[in-house]
Structure 1
Amino acid sequence: MASTPRQRRAARHHQEVSDPSAAPKRGRRAKPITVDAIIEAALDLVAREGYPALTMRRVATALETGSASLYAHVVNKNDLDELLIGRLYTEIDLPDPDPAVWREQITSICTQMRDQYLRYPGISRAALAAAPSNNDTLRLSERMLAILLAGGIAPQTAAWGIDALTLYVNAYTLELSLLGQTDGDWVPSPDEMRRRLANLPDAFPQTRRYAAELTSGTDHERFDFTIELILDGLLRR
């Protein structure tokens, strides 16, 4: 009896779905269509053109096949998104929880997530749109939870803390990817932004006074600041 897409997605996790009808035919394709091949083609497309360019049709074209061939291995675009995020997470080093350095461990994981997302512009949008449900994505949240618990964070606070941290990383990298797609003449430089704020009318006294503070720091300095701020808040609770 044929399984539903939901059952196929839940059962597969990391296992290959074999389909004789999708096997390569002699003289048409040198490599078979596999889940790994689909993931690699999709990531290559995102790295070159950004996440908005990712469609099942574009991936199929890259693999020199039709979209229907992909559905023997990937349920739909949402399934592909989750596979892509899971693949990026497998490349993140997850240390064994150590109460003495738990803050450094969580910060390292968040930084690695950030750097993975920045390699593939806009891909964090896929993470924002999906709840973690496969083993690769759950592996990361499991380790983050274990590290926060080892640091003395209460279970409920740790659970919501993971949500806050991952949402920030996703939003931070998505913002940078969107800025990268914007016309450079439209987005002012920090110096230009500082000048604009300093020359605002009297209705904005604090913004004028603290224009330098509002525009200071690199993107990654602000990233580190916010991660530390979240961790400080977890401790206070």
Structure 2
Amino acid sequence: MPTLPKPPAPEPPPAEPPAAEPRSRRDRPAKAPLSRAAIVQAGLAILDRSGIVELTMRRVAQELDTGAASLYVYVKNRDDLLLAMLDEAMGSVPRTAHLAGTWRERVEALIEAIVHATASHEGLALVALGTIPRTDKVLLIFNDLIGLLREGGLDDRTISWSTDLLYMHATAAGAELASYIARSSNEHDVVSEASEFFAALPAERYPLIAGMHDEIMAGSGDERDAWKLRVLLNGILATPAGRP
């Protein structure tokens, strides 16, 4: 009787992968220590990426890999955080001791620096418009502006009202500039769009606007900004507070 071949031996089952060794928390990268400054920087990063509407305490906590409750050790609330973020941005405004030129040139340079500081992060200009100055860097700016206006020969009441007017002008201009930056617009695009819009208005309904099209569009943004500030300074110098 023939010998039958032996069946092949079954293959051994695949080896089990080695169990992963538990990883100690100490092996993970250490988180940066939480601080008011770190919270402010996280808030500014969110502002630049997503805008002021998306800036919440929860989002800031996620940015820092922590819980929202931990933030309140360093900031009172969202409004306090926004003020701190504004104050951080205002650190770019030079002190008047570092400004050169005539009295008007130094005032103009200071106002222009405020415009660019408030426009540096979308939404901060609106924070500045809606709050009373109460943080260190903003108060230093007001202190310097008071010194400049006093150097211009103004009385204290006129100085007080003038700082309010000039700061409101600067922050409003900052809000406008920030909106252009957020839309990635440049001056040429904005002017072209506005020119086309006004040119298309029906003259029978808006006869005065249509008749002034060329003058409405005249002048660059810098020329208009410089003129606005001249008007403010001329008016301030010529109109002491309390006098009709």
Give me the TM-score of the superposition, normalised by structure 2.
Answer: 0.76
Aligned pairs for 1:86-125 within 5 A:
86-96=87-97, 101-125=102-126
Measured after TM superposition, the shift of residue 120 of structure 1 is: 0.7
CA–CA distance in structure 1, aligned partners of residues 62 and 90 of structure 2: 26
Overall identity of the aligned pairs, in %: 26
Measured after TM superposition, the shift of residue 230 of structure 1 is: 0.7
CA–CA distance in structure 1, aligned partners of residues 57 and 64 of structure 2: 11
Is 192-201 or 115-124 further displaced after alignment?
A: 192-201
Rg larger for: 2
Query: Relative to 1, partners in 2 of residues 1:205 and 1:135: Cα closer, same or farther, differing over 3 Å?
Result: same
CA–CA distance in structure 2, aligned partners of residues 137 and 192 of structure 1: 35
2:192 corresponds to which residue?
A: 191
1:209 corresponds to which residue?
A: 211
Write out per-residue CA displacement over residues 77-123 of structure 1, whole angstroms, 9 at most, x where no aligned residue: 1111111121122221111399x722211211111111122221121
Write out per-residue CA displacement over residues 144-182 of structure 1, whole angstroms, 9 at most, x where no aligned residue: 011111111222122111111111222222234345556
CA–CA distance in structure 1, aligned partners of residues 224 and 29 of structure 2: 51
Query: Relative to 1, partners in 2 of residues 1:74 and 1:217: Cα closer, same or farther, differing over 3 Å?
Result: same
1:57 corresponds to which residue?
A: 58
Measured after TM superposition, the shift of residue 226 of structure 1 is: 1.3
CA–CA distance in structure 2, aligned partners of residues 217 and 48 of structure 1: 33
How many residues in Structure 1 have an aligned counterpart in Structure 2?
210
Query: Relative to 1, partners in 2 of residues 1:53 and 1:221: Cα closer, same or farther, differing over 3 Å?
Result: farther
8 Å Cα contact 2:115-2:170 kept in structure 1? yes
1:8 corresponds to which residue?
A: none
1:218 corresponds to which residue?
A: 220
Query: Relative to 1, partners in 2 of residues 1:80 and 1:189: Cα closer, same or farther, differing over 3 Å?
Result: closer
The one of the two structures with greater contact order (alpha-carbon pairs below 8 A, sep at least 6) is 1
**Gaps in structure 1 of 5+ consecutive residues:** 1-24
Query: Relative to 1, partners in 2 of residues 1:192 and 1:65: Cα closer, same or farther, differing over 3 Å?
Result: closer
Write out per-residue CA displacement over residues 127-158 of structure 1, whole angstroms, 9 at most, x where no aligned residue: 12221112222111111011111111222122
Query: Relative to 1, partners in 2 of residues 1:192 and 1:73: Cα closer, same or farther, differing over 3 Å?
Result: closer
